[in-house]
């Protein structure tokens, strides 16, 4: 049995003095400031409770576990349906306070090691002379606007940053970046997130958690090892060297094509549109200062095809209605992957910003939208009919 808990075991015939010995050992251990737990196995039935007491009667009535607790003592009695249900010694030890505290400490230690491993991975990739030309992990300064980082904290691996710096920032800032969430920019290498995810999985058996247009997300956890971290660095170095060789041999046209690809992934990225608003017909109080709406009603209205229409994304009708009305009201959740969250929901008025974003997207996967049919909209007559039902 593997355990960091000091365990003393005594085995002898009955009447040989085990209890007498333990009555002397336990006080000696307590005098040294140790917590002591005792496990006593009995080969016969026993009872710690007394007939007539409430706890005894409730247990005898069929309770599987009974806890008796006072300000100075607590006992828990567990009933087993058969002798086969008796726990083994390891299970009993695991149930003791000292074992649970050890598990908490070991868990804390594992998490601490994982954070340090993630920080080391971030440092090695971002400071590597070859890898950093094409790949880098994003820092708080890249992902969180300054107004939400009141402490001014920017990077985990900046010179002079200590744990005190980090904990102060986590106390003060409105938003923080979990150091184990490692967002790797890959657009500077000419990869979109989906491309790199497929390459890493198919050729190198490296799993990616999430992707965006120009990044992939790695999530470090207590199951990751130093060797797995080293393997990821080795793989990124291999890809970077391949790119170096490819670009060294590239013609002017090929170099121009690569630069245009990088620019499209890193600079020509459409701004993610803000939520517009729900149509007044889908709001209980259209004059409310808060933007909530009845999304559920719009969702179920779209179940009937007679309530819906489709308009092609690049059609003149879209532009005319944005300018002159009537409102374009989404019938669907529309979710591009990446980024993987809705830019339209049922009952939402579609804005010019949303249309511009949709037209600029070049991702292959957009849930809730079919290019050959167009954007699915709720017809205005249905909105008026819905309002009368309220």
Report the DSSP beta bridge partners of residue 278.
348
In this prediction, residue 334 carries a pLDDT of: 95
In this prediction, residue 56 carries a pLDDT of: 86
Which residues, in sequence order, are CB contacts of 180 under 8 Å at separation 6+? 114, 115, 118, 219, 220, 221
Report the DSSP beta bridge partners of residue 69.
74
pLDDT 10s digits, 16-45? 888 888 899 889 988 988 888 888 877 677
| Structure-block tokens of residue 10 | 């005594």
Are 39 and 87 in contact by the 8 Å Cβ rule? The answer is no
In this prediction, residue 144 carries a pLDDT of: 94
The CATH T-level fold of domain 111-139+177-266 is: 3.90.1150
Count of beta carbons in the 10 Å neighbourhood of residue 365:
11
In this prediction, residue 100 carries a pLDDT of: 60
| Structure-block tokens of residue 173 | 């800032």
- Pinpoint the residues of the chain covered by CATH 3.90.1150.10: 111-139+177-266
Taking each helix axis from N to C end, the angle separating 226-249 and 193-204, rounded to the nearest 10 degrees, works out to 110
Distance CA 169, CA 151 (A): 5
Are 193 and 186 in contact by the 8 Å Cβ rule? The answer is yes
Report the DSSP beta bridge partners of residue 365.
337
In this prediction, residue 1 carries a pLDDT of: 44
Alpha carbons within 13 A on the beta-carbon side of 326: 12
Which residues in the chain show pLDDT less than 70? 1-5, 43, 98-108, 380-390
Are 188 and 212 in contact by the 8 Å Cβ rule? The answer is no
Q: Are strands 365-367 and 375-378 parallel, antiparallel or unpaired?
A: unpaired
The superfamily in CATH containing domain 277-389 is: Molybdopterin biosynthesis moea protein, domain 2 (3.90.105.10)
Which residues, in sequence order, are CB contacts of 383 under 8 Å at separation 6+? 279, 281, 282, 329
Distance CA 379, CA 302 (A): 9
In this prediction, residue 107 carries a pLDDT of: 59
Distance CA 279, CA 347 (A): 6
Q: Are strands 308-311 and 375-378 parallel, antiparallel or unpaired?
A: antiparallel
C-alpha 304 chain-centroid distance: 36
Please state whether the predicted TM-score (pTM) of the whole model is above 0.75.
no
- Pinpoint the residues of the chain covered by CATH 3.90.105.10: 277-389
Report the DSSP beta bridge partners of residue 227.
none
In this prediction, residue 237 carries a pLDDT of: 97
Report how far apart, in Å, the C-alpha atoms of 370 and of each of 37, 123, 375 are: 66, 43, 7
| Structure-block tokens of residue 354 | 């949303």
Which alpha helices (H) appear in the chain, and where do they start and end? 18-31, 54-60, 89-94, 97-127, 140-143, 163-172, 193-204, 226-249, 252-266, 295-301, 316-324, 352-360, 380-389
In this prediction, residue 98 carries a pLDDT of: 63
């Amino acid at each position: 049995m593997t355990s960091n808990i000091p365990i003393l075991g005594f085995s002898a015939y009955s009447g040989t003095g085990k209890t007498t010995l333990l009555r002397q050992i336990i006080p000696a251990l307590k005098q040294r400031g140790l917590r002591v737990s005792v496990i006593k196995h009995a080969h016969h039935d026993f009872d710690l409770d007394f007939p007539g007491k409430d706890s005894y009667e409730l247990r005898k009535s069929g309770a599987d576990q009974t806890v008796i607790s006072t300000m100075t003592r607590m006992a828990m009695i567990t009933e087993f349906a058969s002798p086969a249900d008796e726990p083994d010694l390891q299970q009993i030890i695991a149930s003791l306070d000292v074992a649970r505290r050890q598990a908490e400490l070991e868990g804390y230690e594992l998490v601490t090691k994982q954070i340090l491993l993630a920080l080391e991975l971030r440092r090695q990739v971002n400071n590597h002379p070859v890898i950093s030309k094409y790949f880098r992990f994003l820092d708080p300064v890249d992902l969180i606007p300054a107004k939400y980082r009141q402490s001014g904290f920017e990077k985990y691996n900046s010179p002079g940053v200590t744990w005190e710096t980090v904990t102060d920032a986590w106390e003060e800032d409105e938003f923080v970046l979990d150091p184990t969430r490692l967002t790797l920019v890959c657009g500077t290498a000419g990869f979109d997130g989906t491309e790199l995810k497929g390459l890493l999985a198919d050729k190198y058996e490296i799993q990616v958690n999430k992707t965006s247009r120009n990044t992939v997300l790695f999530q470090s956890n207590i199951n990751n090892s130093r060797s797995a971290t080293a393997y990821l660095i080795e793989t990124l170095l291999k890809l970077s060297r391949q790119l170096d060789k490819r670009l060294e041999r590239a013609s002017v046209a090929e170099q121009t094509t690569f630069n245009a690809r990088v620019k499209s992934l890193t600079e020509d990225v459409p701004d993610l549109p803000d939520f517009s608003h729900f149509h007044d017909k889908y709001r209980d109080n259209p004059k409310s200062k808060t933007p909530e709406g009845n999304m559920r009603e719009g969702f179920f209205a779209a179940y009937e095809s007679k309530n819906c229409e489709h308009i092609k994304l690049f059609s003149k009708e879209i532009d005319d209605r944005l300018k002159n009305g009537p409102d374009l009201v989404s019938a669907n959740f529309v979710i591009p992957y990446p980024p993987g969250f809705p830019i339209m929901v049922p009952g939402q008025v579609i804005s010019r910003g949303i249309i511009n974003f949709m037209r600029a997207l070049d991702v292959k996967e957009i849930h809730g939208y079919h290019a050959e049919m167009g954007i699915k909209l709720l017809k205005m007559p249905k909105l008026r009919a819905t309002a009368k039902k309220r």
